[in-house]
Amino acid sequence: MEHGNTEHKEHSHGYGIYILVWLALIALTSITVTVAGVDFGKIALPIALFIAAVKSMLVINFFMHIKYEDAIFKVFLLLSGMTLLVIFILTFFDVFYR
Amino acid sequence: MSQSNTTAVHHVHRDDLGAKMGMWVFLFTEVLLFGGMFLVYAVYRFQHPELFKLAALELNTAMGTFNTIVLLTSSLTMVLAIVALQKMHKKLSLFYLAVTIGFAFVFMVVKYFEWSAKFSHGIYPGSEELLNKQNGEILFFGLYFVMTGLHALHVIIGVVIIAFLYVFIKRDKITHDNYVKLENGGLYWHLVDLIWIFLFPLFYLIH
């Protein structure tokens, strides 16, 4: 408002929120490195992937601004994610039951 | 872009939303490119779980962790460059972009030392040392070199893009009320970060 932009939608933030997200990303990185040192056996991979997924959601939502973008961008993202998921599931069916 | 509009002389027509949408469509093709590689990784890891673990022990976790932090921080400085420009702090925005390029160089230097350490141990695609190992280990290192190599190529392309953005801001081609190019360059850089977030645990953190 006060900076009088010509953009239709303006979600300008201060520096603060991004520094918080960065701190969270660094914290999650140290957690995933620490957890890798512990023997979790079969669930080690799901834990590592879960932490990576949380990190990527932070990057996508805040750094890549998706949280504040129009719904169409979220639909795009969901569509590409689903496409990848379908390809993975179909391939796994082939590999596991061969 | 520079089409003159007779009805609204005060407002140059441009479609920021469309520009951003185009960038996202491109990013999806990147996701599919890397996605296919992650799929190959998943299948081979399922077939050779123990050998993947054995091969991964040869990677330097400390260097990988350091590079993860470098890349995450470079993503922060990239987004801060956009905020700075929005706040009309042109010099600060240029500073953040320069820092981002600096981090990219640090990343590549670490990558260089990692790869040359592997090379000096005789581990590189097609080397006798590597081909004498078991199949699972050969596959692991094949995927390691291709995926981190393609990622590194993206880092280099990212540096070129950011360098262009720097010049554009300096020459006022990108300004506080017309910065969609900067945002799109940022999106590319964050994707590079995003891919690394998955490469890191899948290659460096298998114990």
Distance in Å, alpha carbon of A41 to nearest chain B alpha carbon: 9
pTM for the whole structure: 0.90
Phi, psi of B175, deg, nearest 5: -130, 180
Question: How far apart, in whole angstroms, are the C-alpha atoms of residue B170 and residue B122?
Answer: 46
- Identify the three-state secondary structure at position B175: strand
Percent above pLDDT 90 for chain B: 92
Tell me the average pLDDT of chain A.
Answer: 87
Contacts by B6-15, CB closer than 8 A, 24 or more apart: B11/A6, B14/B178, B14/B180
**Is the per-residue pLDDT at A48 higher than 70?**
yes
Greater model confidence, B74 or B206: B74
- List the Cα angle B32/B155/B37 in 5-degree steps: 30
User: Which of the four pLDDT bands, split at 50, 70 and 90, describes residue A3?
Assistant: very low
Contacts for B192 with CB less than 8 Å, ≥ 6 apart: B71, B151, B154, B155, B158
Question: How far apart, in whole angstroms, are the C-alpha atoms of residue A77 and residue B167?
Answer: 31
**Is the per-residue pLDDT at A98 higher than 70?**
yes
Query: What DSSP string runs through B75-87?
Result: HHHHHHHHHHHHT
Q: Looking at this predicted complex, what is its ipTM?
A: 0.90
The C-alpha torsion from B200 through B41 and B139 to B64, rounded to 10°, is 0
Read off the tokens for B54.
């054995």
Work out the average pLDDT over B158-165.
Answer: 98
Chain B residues in contact with A59 (beta carbon < 8 A): 75, 190, 193-194, 197
Question: How far apart, in whole angstroms, are the C-alpha atoms of residue B163 and residue A47?
Answer: 37
Residues B88-136 pLDDT 10s: 999 999 999 999 999 999 999 999 999 999 999 999 998 999 999 999 9
Residue B178's DSSP bridge partners are B175
Residues B14-62 pLDDT 10s: 899 999 999 999 999 999 999 999 999 999 999 999 999 999 999 999 9
Instruction: Mutate one of A25, A50, A73, A96 to test the B interface: name it (highest B CB count within 10 A).
Output: A25
Tell me the average pLDDT of chain B.
Answer: 94
Residues 36-65 in A contacting B (C-alpha not used; CB under 8 Å): 36-37, 39, 44, 48-49, 51-52, 55-56, 59-60, 62-65
pLDDT at B207: 79
**Is the per-residue pLDDT at A9 higher than 70?**
no
